[in-house]
Amino acid sequence: MRTHYCGTITSAQIDEEVTLYGWVDRRRDHGGVIFLDMRDREGIVQVVFDPDTEEHFQRADRVRSEYVLEIKGRVRARSDATINPNMLTGEIEILGKKLEILNSAATPPFQLDQHIEVGEDVRLKYRYIDLRRPEMLEKLKLRSRVTSSIRRFMDENGFLDIETPILTKATPEGARDYLVPSRTHEGKFFALPQSPQLFKQLLMVSGMDRYYQIAKCFRDEDLRADRQPEFTQIDIETSFMNDQQIMAITERMIQGLFKEVLDVDLGDFPHMPYAEAMSRFGSDKPDLRIPLELVDVDDLMRQVDFKVFNGPANDAKGRVAALKVTGGAQISRKQIDGYTKFVSIYGAKGLAWIKINDITAGIEGLQSPILKFMPEDIITQMMARLAVTDGDIVFFGADKTSIVNEALGALRVKVGEDQGLIKGDWAPLWVVDFPMFEENSEGNLTSLHHPFTAPACSPEALEKNPEQALSIAYDMVLNGTELGGGSVRIHQADMQQAVFRVLGISDEEAQEKFGFLLDALKYGAPPHGGLAFGLDRLVMLMTGAKSIRDVIAFPKTQSAACVMTDAPGLADNKQLRELNIRLREKPKAE
Ligand code: ASP
């Protein structure tokens, strides 16, 4: 039996006989004495074999990196000269007495400390080796502490951990479904859940009162950067609680988690209406660590003789906004060109700017290609509104409101990062009062959250004026990332049907897709609501990982594949026949 993990042995164990299991991190031959750095889950310890223990010394001489060993030995203090203060075990070493080789290892495809050079594809192909790196281990350990803290909180607060089906019907969360063909029901398909949304609502109808689940969700999206087709949610639902109460209890959970795992006090989370977040930050997940804001200048731009500005300023669906960067006048032309390219990703056709060199010199003290289009009094009013001082730069966005918000919202974050303006480590908030619907590119209304979100108005008012309707929904945002979101749900069938009608879902279609929910709402559904947190994203923020893939043991690549197992794979003909599936075209061999 193991007596200690390698990385946990300190001076407290001096003179103890220990048994260790682990991998050879490094082997060094120092003129007749062999040093092995033994590694396991908890860290590294140095083991020394000298020729006295002949048989075991011979074996120590044979081992190579990543061999798996059992070692017995005695803990002793290192000589002063060899103490390594950078290692937890740096004051001691093990004088090895016995060594068993439990398994040899082929030369690893990369040295554990050379993972950066080998690239992510190789790391993912040999993920089991990549995960041996202490840095990766630490992330997965922290993830485990996060889930155990959450489970404890949930348990203490009376939440029941209940599993919901993976083979199910579509649960709309705005992505494509992953489909699974049914063998026993010819021509029919299961959908993997985009979330447990409908089941958790049904659990409230059953009277479970408080539910949670650490649940896998599946969304077949065109992979935007850092999304995973399968990911994990901390999924929560409650009965008889209003939005404020749901936010309060989940805020306590996240505060407690940060305190316990990172010893960080997040403080109370401010609440900000969606409209304010969009207007001030161009985003419904503002990073409040960045002290830059968008300022509307539509009213000033209506009259200017410059179509780029007066067009959107006079359009009800347009916006002209300014972003002042204090001290930004030193941003070079080249950097501005870079930013212009950056905002074009979001559909912006250009990026106008004004540098303030000497505010006392009036228009002469400003520098910009667009000044010639603007009357002086408009410029003066604008500068006063923006409260500029010497050395500032102001960027402008003028386009459809959605493009201006996205472009300037993203620019705000980029410039904030580039200019080192980020203040503080953590800035949480709740974004509330979302609109019920948004217009998609075809001009149809779609749910901003999902169609089961309760509006803050009556069914009549909703159908009369759906664009104006607000929902009782809330998102928790941390450092510009949406950590989680949820809502109070519709618990009455007539309201649910009204929402379906606004979404253009006919009664027949609603019955076919969600008949079971509409039925359930008739049989005594309590008022209920909840939310879900993205566990992967939460752990990514808490560990400071650069990518969501670094906090998932076996993630998919950007193209939604697993390079280690080679999934997805081809199905053989027998399987396809059993499933009654004929492929339209033979997939080309890879
Ligand atoms: N089901 C929602 C989602 O996956 C969260 C919720 O409303 O509870 O985003």
Residue to mutate, 214, 231, 450, ligand 1, most ligand atoms under 8 Å from C-beta: 450
Q: Is 187 contained in some domain?
A: no
Is 437 found in the same domain as 391? no
Is 402 found in the same domain as 302? yes
Residue in the structure block whose two tokens are 């080789």:
101
For residue 143, say whether it is annotated as part of any ligand binding site: no
Q: Is 77 contained in some domain?
A: yes
Ligand 1 atom with minimal separation from the 473 CA = 7
Is 434 found in the same domain as 494? yes
For residue 228, say whether it is annotated as part of any ligand binding site: yes
Q: Cα(140)–Cα(232) distance, rounded to whole angstroms? A: 14
Task: Give the Å distance between the CA of 236 and the centre of ligand 1.
Answer: 9
Domain of 409: which CATH number?
Answer: 3.30.1360.30
Ligand 1 atom with minimal separation from the 485 CA = 5
For residue 271, say whether it is annotated as part of any ligand binding site: no
Q: Is 279 helix (H, G, I), strand (E, B) or coil?
A: helix
Domain of 38: which CATH number?
Answer: 2.40.50.140
Q: Is 126 contained in some domain?
A: no
Q: What is the pLDDT of residue 30?
A: 87
Domain of 497: which CATH number?
Answer: 3.30.930.10
For residue 219, say whether it is annotated as part of any ligand binding site: yes
Tokens of 546: 């650069």
Task: Give the Å distance between the CA of 338 and the centre of ligand 1.
Answer: 37
Q: Cα(472)–Cα(560) distance, rounded to whole angstroms? A: 34
Is 264 found in the same domain as 151? yes
Is 470 found in the same domain as 351? no
Is 261 found in the same domain as 220? yes
Q: Is 568 contained in some domain?
A: no
First to last CA, the chain: 47
Residue in the structure block whose two tokens are 């752990």:
539
Q: What is the pLDDT of residue 588?
A: 67
Domain boundary (378, 408, 423) is at 423
Q: Is 186 contained in some domain?
A: no
**Hey, which residues does 510 pair with through a beta bridge?**
none
For residue 173, say whether it is annotated as part of any ligand binding site: yes
Q: Cα(178)–Cα(220) distance, rounded to whole angstroms? A: 6
List, run by run, the mean pLDDT of 10-residue segments along the chain (590 residues).
97 97 95 94 96 92 96 96 93 97 95 81 95 95 98 98 96 92 95 97 98 97 83 98 98 98 98 98 98 97 90 95 96 96 96 95 92 91 95 97 97 97 97 95 91 96 96 98 97 95 94 94 97 98 95 94 95 94 75
CA 93 to mean position of chain CA atoms: 41
Is 441 found in the same domain as 413? no
For residue 534, say whether it is annotated as part of any ligand binding site: yes
Task: Give the Å distance between the CA of 61 and the centre of ligand 1.
Answer: 57
Residue to mutate, 171, 192, 197, 471, ligand 1, most ligand atoms under 8 Å from C-beta: 197
Is 510 found in the same domain as 445? yes
Is 95 found in the same domain as 156? no
Q: How many domains in the chain?
A: 3
Q: Is 460 contained in some domain?
A: yes
Output the DSSP codes for 400-414. EHHHHHHHHHHHHHH
Q: Is 576 contained in some domain?
A: no
For residue 220, say whether it is annotated as part of any ligand binding site: yes
The one-character DSSP state at 114 is G
Q: How far, in Å, are 240, 356, 367, 404, 416 from residue 411 at the CA level? A: 42, 19, 20, 10, 8
Is 419 found in the same domain as 448? no
Residue to mutate, 235, 472, 517, ligand 1, most ligand atoms under 8 Å from C-beta: 235
* Selection from 284, 179, 190, 196 nearest residue 232 by Cα: 196
The answer to pTM > 0.85 is yes
Q: Cα(92)–Cα(83) distance, rounded to whole angstroms? A: 8
Output the DSSP codes for 463-531. HH-GGG-BBSEEEEEETTEEEEEEEEBP-SHHHHHHHHHHTT--HHHHHHHHHHHHHHHHTTPPPEEEE
Is 460 found in the same domain as 396? no
For residue 221, say whether it is annotated as part of any ligand binding site: yes
Length of the chain: 590
Domain extent at residue 146: 137-162+194-272+429-544
Q: Is 255 contained in some domain?
A: yes
Q: Cα(305)–Cα(205) distance, rounded to whole angstroms? A: 61
Output the DSSP codes for 104-144. --PPPSS-GGGHHHH-HHHHHHTHHHHTTSHHHHHHHHHHH
Strands across the sheet containing 271-273: 160-161, 210-218, 230-239, 528-534, 481-488, 473-478, 428-432, 271-273
Task: Give the Å distance between the CA of 238 and the centre of ligand 1.
Answer: 13
Domain boundary (55, 85, 103) is at 103
Per DSSP bridges, beta strands 179-181 and 189-191 are antiparallel
Residue in the structure block whose two tokens are 């281990």:
137
Task: Give the Å distance between the CA of 531 and the centre of ligand 1.
Answer: 5
Ligand 1 atom with minimal separation from the 200 CA = 8
**Hey, which residues does 239 pair with through a beta bridge?**
528
Q: Cα(500)–Cα(489) distance, rounded to whole angstroms? A: 14
Q: Cα(513)–Cα(505) distance, rounded to whole angstroms? A: 10
Q: Cα(413)–Cα(476) distance, rounded to whole angstroms? A: 18
Task: Give the Å distance between the CA of 211 and the centre of ligand 1.
Answer: 13
Residues in contact with ligand 1 by the CB-under-6-Å rule are 173, 195, 197, 485-487, 530-532
Task: Give the Å distance between the CA of 235 and the centre of ligand 1.
Answer: 7
Residue 442 · residue 390 · CB < 8 Å: no
In this structure, is the dihedral angle defined by the CA atoms of residues 130, 131, 136 and 138, taken in order, positive or negative?
A: negative
* Selection from 156, 151, 146, 152 nearest residue 261 by Cα: 146
Ligand 1 atom with minimal separation from the 486 CA = 7
Whose alpha carbon is nearest atom 7 of ligand 1?
486
Q: Which residues contact 163 (CB under 8 A, 6 or more apart)?
A: 213, 215
Angle at which helices 535-543 and 243-262 pack, to 10 degrees? 40
Q: Which residues contact 454 (CB under 8 A, 6 or more apart)?
A: 471, 472, 487, 488, 489, 490, 491, 495, 529
Q: What is the pLDDT of residue 497?
A: 94
Whose alpha carbon is nearest atom 4 of ligand 1?
195
Task: Give the Å distance between the CA of 472 and the centre of ligand 1.
Answer: 13
Q: Cα(146)–Cα(232) distance, rounded to whole angstroms? A: 13
Q: What is the pLDDT of residue 226?
A: 80
Is 533 found in the same domain as 488? yes
